[in-house]
Every structure is written in structure tokens, then in C-alpha cells.
Amino acid sequence: MLNSDVILQDILRKNSYLCVQGSDIITITGIAYDSRRVLDGNVFFAVSGQCYKDAEMEYVKEALMRGAVAIVWEESVSPVYGKLMKLCEEVKCVLILVKEIRHCMANAASLYYGEPQNELITIGITGTKGKSTTAGMIHQILNKCNVPCGLIGTNGAYYADTVERLRNTTPESVEVFRLLRDMIDNHVKVVVMEVSSQGLKMARVEGIIFDYAIFSNLGPDHIGEGEHADFEEYIQYKSKLFQTCKEAWFNKDDPYVYRMTEKCLCNMYYYSMKQPSDHYAIEINSDSFKTQGFVEEVFELRLPGRYNVYNALAAIGVLYSYGIPAFRIKAALKDVTIDGRMEKIELPCKITVIIDYAHNATSLEALLLTLKEYHPKRLIAIFGCGGNRSKDRRFLMGEVSGRYADFTIITSDNPRYENPQDIMADIVTGMQRTNGQYICIEDRRQAVRYALQHAKSGDMIVLAGKGHEDYQEIQGVRYPMLDRELVYEAITKEEWNVR
């Protein structure tokens, strides 16, 4: 483990900064960005969104009360700077000014944890959809091939015998570097990481030069207040991953692929399902495909859908480049399953429930089109949309479900601080652009029960949007809820009767 006593000056040396109060030659015991997690002797990074909208600096005060010995503040944020100076002077706390606090925090965290990224093989994956599945494939295959691999992503952090749930697909930089150090301490050799556009925008992986990087695909998403200003900004941040890597793999079939490659200076490879490329698939069946180019082999795949062949192509390419023989990749890939991704529950009377994390229009469309290929008697979709996110996502998801599902049950997802009825009304707006049939049932548990109570032999029910998530967030509180459990709970009810 890393020695917890570090000189503040040493972890700030990669940044330009000004010490305006006290001395930077002090011992610190850790780094914190959440005032609730500050421990005695920590340096507190007052990142935007926590402190600057609060004229009374409640979060800074809480950090000081909990024992912070230094505050790092962004110079460009000034509304309460005078009060901050006075407070730090009164309590004899060190005050550091920096130009870009998130970049500074990432560099500081990297140094504090001994630059762990340099001791690992790092694989970063970005794209609108497919990140979790591709990361999961790589993670499982490497571990099956006796290469200790860790994973950081939407489903959480996995390494050795540790499972840690995360609030973000790509956690804050302090958490990223802490996890990397802990992985090394647990003998991990490779880490695969989902790198979100928000993670890149907020410098959460600053300082990591990825050994391998993957681009899956791109579609409009995460655009709106608190996310990206527009699609162009979304593209720009996605492409940043390929400016900080040694080898990159790109989905050649995606229309935005050349926006990802235009500033990439590393070794570049392309994979495809539509055209000859460095690595491409042919003879694609429901449970297998053949590859040509980089790897020539026939692979079996338990995860259905053409988009999962794309995910597998990316995983195979990187794994083979890393040094895993094709026959070992083949043996491991056929057993790969991903929690909450195309998770199948077979019920009596030939009724199938599919649980999937699809939470935007692009993912939902791919999911529904894939399932229609199985020719269910009826395709029934159950989904909601997250609160405090773009309304466009709601309109588009409603429209997609209206077009491709035979019947839709609009329900609640993670409403966060919004009224669930308002979110559902936005989905209905999109639904009404189609002739799709639907019903609104706010309670997600009741929505699942309704679907099963009215199910008929041969139906396929798609429960989308939450996948692996084991909570529902309402007004800042996360209540236990797992879609899989909702299904099993519903089928034990006496009134459920398949027709």
C-alpha cells in the first residue's frame, strides 16, 4: 500500500499554481473532492458544482470541519473568493489557486497514488453504445486466460475478489487512480476501462496514456444541460481518447469514424462487418461468425445481435494484439455473458423476458431490431427515462419504441429530482409521432407485473433502461430495485396467469 503521508508540494508539481495562504510544504494524508468524505489531514479539491453556487461555502466549511488542511480552488471562480480567503486565514488553512482544477486534481491523484497507470496495461473504450459489453468481454477473457484483469465501468469496478459499485461510468480521477493502485496491490496486470465523454470532459482519466483504445460507435446522446452543449462537443470529447493512446481500434462502419481518427497519431486498426478491413467478420449467424484479416478463426457468441459481433470484433482485435492466441480467445468468448446486457429469463408458456441497459434511442433501436429477428408473437417494451437529462432522449426513445415494439409500457426509471409524470409525458410525445400502442404505469414494479399478467404464449418482453442497476434514484435517495428481481417477484404472484 502507498504511504499515506505525502508533501502537498510534491503532488502539485505537475501544475501551475499559487499558494496564497499558508505553506504548500505540509504533510497531507489524502485527497478528497467530496466534503462528506474528507478525513483529517486531507487536501480538499473544491470542484465546480460542489461549492461555487453556494455563497456561504457550506461544502468548504464542512471539509474544514472534518479536518481538511488545504483547499484547492479554481481562480476563474470568484463570487465568494473574498470570503474564502478570510475563512482560510481564520482557521490557518492552506489555500491553493489553480487555473483548471479538474486537471490539477487528476495530476495530483496520479502522483499521490504513485502513477499506477505506468505499472499496468491500460485499455480504454469509448462510444455511445457497446462500451460495457466490450469491456466485459475483454475482462472475462483475460481472466479466463490467467491474465489478472481489472475493470472500471458502468457495472462497477471488478478486480481480484473485489466488486465496488460506482456512481459514474468513469469515476472521478481520485477514484480512478485509487482503484488502479489497489488493483496493482492485488496483482492485476491489465485494466480495461469504459471512458465516457463526460469522463474525458472532466479530466477523469487525465495523465493516462492508454496502451489500447477502442471506438465502438457514435450517436446523439448526453446532450443537454449538465452534459454536452451539442453533438459537436460530444464528438470532440469522444475523440480525445485517441489523442492519448498507443494503439487504437476503430469501427470502420460507423459514419463518424473519421472524426475520431483525424487527430490520432498512434497505430490505427479498423474492424468491420460490411467491408474488408484490418479485422472483419463474414459468415455471420445467430450464434457464430468468422473473422478475416488480423485474426482468421470461427468464433461462437452467446450474446445475440449483430451489434454484439461488433463488440466481439473489437475485443478480439485488442486481445490478439496484446498477445492472447486466437484459439484461447475463441474458447473463452463462447462462455461470455454480461450482467444486465441481453439478459434472458425464460418463463413458462414460451414467454421470454430480456433485461437490457439500453437507455438511449440508439441502443433501444438496436435492441428491438435484434429481437424482432427472433419473430416473437408480440414484442413488448417496458422502459422509462432518467430525470435531469436531455428531453430529446425521451422523445426519441418514445418514437423508437412506437415504431418497433408491438406494445409499450411507459414507466419510471431514475427520476432523480424530476417528477416522473413529466418524464413519462415527454416519452409519450415521442410515442405519438408513431402509431404505436402504449400504456403509462409509473410504478416500475407494477409495470412489470402488468406485462406478465397480460403476456401470451410466444411473447417477448423487453425490460430496458436499468440493466445491472440495483437501485432507483428518487430525490437524491437510491432505493433498492433490480429489474431481474422485479420479474421473479411478479411471477410468484398468485394473480399472474399466462394465457
For 4, other C-beta atoms within 10 Å of its C-beta total 12
Average pLDDT over residues 456-463: 94
- For the chain, give the percent of residues with pLDDT over 90: 74
Percent of the chain scored above 70 by pLDDT?
94
HSE at residue 36, side-chain half, CA atoms within 13 A, is 1
Give the list of residues 6+ apart from residue 494 with CB closer than 8 angstroms, or none: none
Measuring CA to CA, which residue among 430, 442, 373 is closest to residue 401? 430
What does the pLDDT look like over 178-219, one tens digit per residue? 999 999 999 999 999 999 988 999 999 999 999 999 999 987
Q: Which residues pair with 290 in a beta bridge?
A: 282, 298
C-beta of residue 329 within 8 angstroms of C-beta of residue 296: no
CATH number of the structural domain 343-491:
3.90.190.20
What is the Rg, in whole angstroms, of the alpha carbon atoms belonging to the chain? 24
Same fold for the pair 114-333 and 343-491 = no
pLDDT tens sequence across 33-44: 999 999 999 999
Q: Each residue of 364-387: pLDDT tens digit?
A: 998 999 899 889 999 999 999 999
Count of residues for the chain? 499
Question: What tens digit of pLDDT does each residue of 323-369 get?
Answer: 999 999 999 999 998 887 888 888 878 899 999 988 889 889 989 99
Residue 286 sits at the vertex; the CA angle it makes with 285 and 288, to the nearest 5 degrees, is 55
Residues sharing a CB contact under 8 Å with residue 427, sequence separation 6 or more, in sequence order: 384, 385, 394, 395, 397, 398, 410
How far from each other are the two terminal CA atoms of the chain, in whole angstroms?
Answer: 59
d(CA 78, CA 350): 63
Query: Whole-angstrom Cα distance, residue 79 to residue 164?
Result: 37
Given 3-state DSSP classes, what are the helix, strand and coil percentages for the chain, each rounded to the nearest 5? Answer: 35, 25, 40
Give the residue, 233 or 486, on which the prediction is more confident: 486
Calculate the alpha carbon distances from 36 to 33, 42, 62, 397 in Å: 9, 12, 7, 36
Pick the residue with more confidence: 476 or 151?
151
Average pLDDT, the chain: 91
Side by side, the strands of the sheet bearing 149-153 are 162-164, 156-159, 149-153, 190-194, 121-126, 212-215, 247-251, 267-272, 279-282, 288-293, 297-300
CB atoms within 10 A of CB 90: 9
List residues bridging with 27 in a β-sheet: 7
Map grid coordinates 496495461 to a residue.
Answer: 121
pLDDT at 286: 80
Burial (CB count <10 Å: 0-12, 13-18, 19+), residue 359: buried
Task: For 404-449, write each residue's pLDDT tens digit.
Answer: 999 999 999 999 999 999 999 999 999 999 999 999 999 999 999 9
- From the options 3.20.20.60, 3.40.630.30, 3.40.1190.10, 3.30.70.100, give the CATH code of 114-333: 3.40.1190.10
pLDDT average, residue stretch 50-78: 79
Does the pLDDT at position 221 exceed 70?
Answer: no
In terms of Cβ atoms closer than 10 Å to its own Cβ (0-12, 13-18, 19+), residue 248 is buried
pLDDT at 2 over 90: no
pLDDT > 90? residue 228? no
Residue whose C-alpha cell is 430480456: 354
User: What pLDDT score was predicted for residue 4?
Assistant: 60
Query: Grid coordinates in use for 246?
Result: 498507443
Of 3.40.50.720, 3.40.50.2300, 3.40.1390.10, 3.50.50.60, which CATH number belongs to 6-111?
Answer: 3.40.1390.10
- Among 306, 382, 299, 282, which Cα is nearest to 133's? 306
**Alpha carbons 464 and 445: distance in angstroms, whole number:** 13
Q: Which residue has the cell 496483482?
A: 187
Which pLDDT score, from 0 to 100, does residue 338 have? 85
Q: Give the least confident one: 108-117, 316-325, 342-351.
A: 342-351
Domain boundaries, the chain: 6-111, 114-333, 343-491
Higher pLDDT, 495 or 75: 75
DSSP 217-280: ---S-SBSTTSBSSHHHHHHHHHGGGGSBSEEEEETTSTTHHHHHTT--SEEEEEESSS--SEE
Reference 228, options 411, 58, 392; nearest CA is 392
**pTM of the complete model:** 0.81
For 83-154, strand residue ranges (E) read: 94-98, 121-126, 149-153
The pLDDT of residue 1 is: 43
| CA–centroid distance for 258 within its chain | 23
